[in-house]
Structure 1
Amino acid sequence: MEPIRFQKLHPNAVIPQRATPGSAGMDLVACIEEPVLLPAGGRAMIPTGLAMAIPTAEWVGLVYARSGLAVRHGITLSNSVGVIDSDYRGEIRVGLCNLGQEPYTIQPGERIAQLVITPVLMPPVEEADELDNTERGTGGFGSTGKR
Structure 2
Amino acid sequence: MSTLFHKVSLNQFALAYKDNNVENIYNDIKLPQRATKGSAGYDFFAPFDFTLKPNETITIPTGIRCEMDENRVLMIFPRSGLGFKYRMQLNNTVGIIDSDYFYSDNEGHIFIKITNNTNEDKVIEVKKGQGFAQGLFMQYFLTDDDDASAIRNGGFGSTTK
The 8 Å contact of residues 30 and 48 in structure 1, kept in 2 or not, is answered as: yes
Q: Which residue of 1 aligns with 2:155?
A: none
**TM (normalized to structure 2)?**
0.69
Cα offsets for 1:10-60 (capped at 9, x unmatched): 32111111111111111011112xx22212111111122111111x22100
Aligned length: 122
Structure 2 segments unaligned to the other structure (5+ residues): 9-25, 103-107, 148-161
Distance between the aligned counterparts of 2:36 and 2:2, measured in 1? 18
From 71, 96, 110, the equivalent of 2:130 is 110
Moved over 6 A (4+): none
> TM-score, normalized by length of structure 1?
0.75
What residue number does 2:4 align with?
5
DSSP-derived class of the 1:88 partner:
helix
How many angstroms apart in 1 are the aligned matches of 2:2 and 2:70? Answer: 14
Match of 1:62 in 2: 75
Look up the SS of the partner of 1:87 in the other structure: helix
Whole-angstrom CA distance in 1 between matches of 2:127 and 2:35: 19
| Whole-angstrom distance in 2 between the partners of 1:48 and 1:4 | 18
Counterpart of 1:38 in structure 2 is: 52
1:88 correspondence with 2:104:
no
- Aligned position for 2:86: 73
Q: State the partner residue of 2:45.
A: 29
Write the mapping of 1:95-134 to structure 2, written as runs, cut at 5 A.
Answer: 95-100=113-118, 101=120, 102-123=122-143, 124=145
Structure 2 residue aligned with 1:53, among 40, 64, 67? 67
1:75-129 CA deviation, whole Å, 9 max, x = no partner? 1211110000001122111111101222222321120111101101121369xxx
Aligned residue number for residue 140 of structure 1: none
Give the AA of the match of 2:123: P
**Identical residues among aligned pairs (%):** 31
Q: What corresponds to 1:18 in structure 2?
A: 34
Distance 2:40 2:137 in 1: 8
